[in-house]
Amino acid sequence: MQTETRTGATDTTSVPAVVATLRDTFESGRTRPIEWRRHQLERMKTMLVEREAELLDALAADLGKPRLEGWASDIGIVISEIDFALRHLARWTKPERSRLPLAHQPGRATVHREPYGVVLVIAPWNYPIHLLLLPMVGAIAAGNAVVGKPSEVAARTSATLARLVPEYLDPEAVATVEGGVAETQALLAERFDYVFYTGNGRVGRIVMAAAAEHLTPVTLELGGKSPVIVDESANVEVAARRIAFGKFLNAGQTCVAPDYALVTRTLEAELVQQLGRAIREFYGPDPAASPDYARIVNDAHFRRLEQLLAGSTPAIGGESNAADRYVAPTVLRDVSPEAPVMADEIFGPILPVLTVPTSTRPSGS
């Protein structure tokens, strides 16, 4: 049985001082040299390698993540991004000559890429290492100071990152602020030079509104209803395996997971059959006993998914266990477009399959 761990929280009154320290560091010029950037990226990679076991333990505690899945989706992907940045850092930072129009001749122009300044990264809980550190890699590679806000929902991972980041990275240029709504609001009250937020649209609007007060540029990575389409051109067996992998990875708690499937009527039965085969191949006859299947992050999200399943007759799965926050890989048929499960992003291991009359693919394409 999983237990929910409450994360620590940064004192909100200390947030202005944290941001001020980062700004002083940036304005001192410390973060600009390529040597500093390279060293910080190398230290982050060292942290991920040396403390891999602790990080995987935290992912397992928060999300029931299998260790291989946790490494591949949260640690290995960040290491790959760091290696990519290190290989290209010199080229990215090299000044580039630029041609001038005739009116400005015989002048010369050179493009110099400058860091923004102090960057805020607000991360979600579903890939709590990946989606905190990956934007921080970009911010550091560009020569910025950065504060990361891990999600309080993934409490164990948040606490682990808050402990490890200052141990490995420059604490006067890279900071971590833990907590929930109050701490996030305290951060958003400060002036940043760039904000990167991953999460839902409701909070995304709050982040953008706060950033607008300072005309701060923002990147919002938000979720939505992401369908997959299976028509007569598809290899249904291959399509089903790919859909099952994308949908049930991390128990469906992925913003780019297939939210629902649209399939032509003639292929519906075959697609459902092949989805069942793929689920058995991935997780065995009883996914609840599989070491390769994750769990729902907390009781609130478990209850939300149970409500979406209420009244449905699953073609595959449908079982759940509140004590373990387990929701089986589930496929639904005969779903009305007006059903609650079709209203918002599902963000769980429930795949509605809706039929369409025929392919809409243009002829000859």
Active site residues: 221, 255
127: nearest Cα among 7, 249, 43, 25: 249
Contacts 24+ apart (CB under 8 A), 64-72: 64/2, 64/251, 64/293, 64/294, 64/295, 64/325, 65/250, 65/294, 66/291, 66/292, 66/293, 66/294, 68/292, 69/249, 69/250, 69/292, 69/294
Amino acid, res. 224:
G
- Is residue 224 classed as helix, strand or coil in its secondary structure? coil
Q: Could you tell me the two tokens for 1? A: 């049985």
Is there a contact between 115 and 142 (Cβ–Cβ < 8 Å)? Answer: yes
Q: Nearest Cα to 279, choosing from 248, 309, 252, 253? A: 248
Amino acid at 93: T
User: What tokens does 276 get?
Assistant: 């069942």
Per-residue exposure over 324-339, b if at least 16 CB sit within 10 Å of its own CB, e if not: ebbbbbbbbbebeeee
Contact in structure between 244 and 275 (CB atoms under 8 Å): yes
- DSSP classification of residue 75: I
Cα dihedral 154, 156, 160, 163 sign: positive
Start-to-end CA span in the chain (Å): 51
C-alpha closest to that of 181 among 163, 165, 199, 193: 199
CA–CA separation, 180 vs 189, rounded Å?
A: 14
Tokens 């709504």 sit on residue: 181
For 36, the token pair is 């500093």
